[in-house]
Structures are given as structure tokens and as C-alpha cells.
Structure 1
């Protein structure tokens, strides 16, 4: 495959959901199964924004805009280089997902769907993460689940991470790489 063909075949999955839904774990498993690059979108946050969240303050749209732009650049660079990848990003609102996908059919949203009680229980047992459980309500308040026209892959978080990754990979295989 030449460079143009590789670039045309490259795909990126954006694994989204509220904090505690298992995005990083599931996305890493999907990337491993597919042999794709994996990046956690949290690594694109500035130290100031990490500190703000650690202090229990939710980010606003002004805070998120440069973070989303950095992730969108990473996505675009992968596609241009012909490298498929999986990236984690809460991407709670449609406008955020629109920035990330840039209208490209080669960027696919994977939504890890779960109810507040299950996720709150997970967050209560999580230690060492900058996102405190106290911000869960603000995440659910901002959440706009992907609409059908976004062609999302939606999976319930009630299954173990390995099973979720298998479902996502199977869904991609069924689609045959055509996501439209």
C-alpha cells in the first residue's frame, strides 16, 4: 500500500463517556486488538486544567476548546500519516465531537454508556485520578449521547472491559471499514 492508500485507509476511534465509564481501559484493549496507536486524551490537558479539576471545579467550554483542538490535531495527523488510532476523550457534547471528527467519516465515535449509580460506585473505588467523583453530576449534566446520524458504536459498560473491546472490534468488522 502506498502512502496515499495508507492515509485513505487510516481510521481513528474516539472512545467517549463520562469519567469512570472505563474509557481508558476499554480503548487500550481495542487498540491492542487492532494493532492501532492508543492515546489517552487526558494527556492533552494543561497542568492548569488538571489542577482545576483536581480542585473539584468543572471545566467550561472556554477551558475545553484548546484541549479539544489539540486532540483534533492529533487525529488529523494520524489520518494524514496513514496511521489508525484510538483516543480517549469525554466528548460529552455534540459540538465537542464535531470538533474532533471534523466531518470525517474516518473518525468514529464509540460511546461507553452507563447509568449514574454504576459509574458513581466505580469512581468511589478509584484513587489517584485527577478527576474527583464530585464532578460526576456536572459530567452527566453536560452529556449529550451521540445521535444516530453520528454513526456511533454504543456499548453498555455493564460487561467486563475485555467483552466491551470484543464487541467494539466485532462491530467494526461487521461494518467492514465503511462507517457512513
Structure 2
């Protein structure tokens, strides 16, 4: 039985299809979508949180069978928080639709309609490495508003989606700029 998810050809096929398709490869522009894949650092971190949650749930089951129900409830709540954190971590990034641009962070989400977006561009600037306080020189996708300050920078070439993947960052930046050019009119 073939297992296509185990082969490296899938990523090459995705890159080939992305290069051949239009700048906005979408069937339903009204649905929110991330124009890039989550990176290996983000997926790996979420997997570690889910693994930790499974151990905590196993602990909750053992504690409940031992007869300490309050301890089991505390462990179950910790596991639910870890699962929610892992899911939210996978959703962090920039999402686009025909109605606007949405920046999803770990704790907050900002949605701007395309009419409120002045420009989406890639700039060279100091960026945070993997979201840590340490900064390095890199590229970032900056979203300028028509009124007010620009949105916080979420997409950089040194974040957990694009670290060591410069072509993926360029493709994502081009896709975001194409969405902005299409719907800002």
C-alpha cells in the first residue's frame, strides 16, 4: 500500500504546482486561508505540546484510578490547556480572504479589511529570531494601514515558519503581496 505522505515527492510536486499556478490559486476567495504552509519549527513545537498533553492525560487517568479526583481534574485541565496552546500555535500567522487580512497571534487576532490596508511589502529590518528577544538582520512582511500605525510584524524570514527556508518565505511574501494587489483596489 503506497504511503504518499512519507515521500519527499509531495513537497516537490507542491512547489511545481505553486510555480505553475496563478498568483492567487484559490477557488473560494471568501474563506480565510493561510497563503503558506506552517513551518517545521512551528509544527514540531506543537507536536511536543501534544505529546506532553498525552502524558499529562495519562497521569490524570492514573491519578483518577488511584482515587484522587481533584488531582485528576487538575491534570486534565492542564492537558486541555496544552492542547489548546498547540492548536493555537498552529494557527499563528497571516490569513487572507477577499474581505481582508487577519494576523493571528498566540494571544490576540487582528483583522483589517482590504480597504484599511495601505500596502503590503517586504522590507529589510532587524527581526526576532524564532520569536525570541534576540534580533538578527532579516526580511519581514510589513502591513501598513491607511490610518494609524502598521500592524505588528508576524511574517519574517527568521520565524518558526520560514527559518532556513528562504524560498518559502519569498513565495509567501509574493502571495501576500498578490492578495493585497488583487483586493485593495
| TM-score bracket for the superposition, by shorter chain length | under 0.3
Point out which structure has higher relative CO (alpha carbons under 8 A, 6+ apart).
1
The structure in which a higher percent of residues are strand is 2
TM-score by length of 2: 0.23
Tell me which structure has the larger Cα radius of gyration: 2
TM-score by length of 1: 0.23
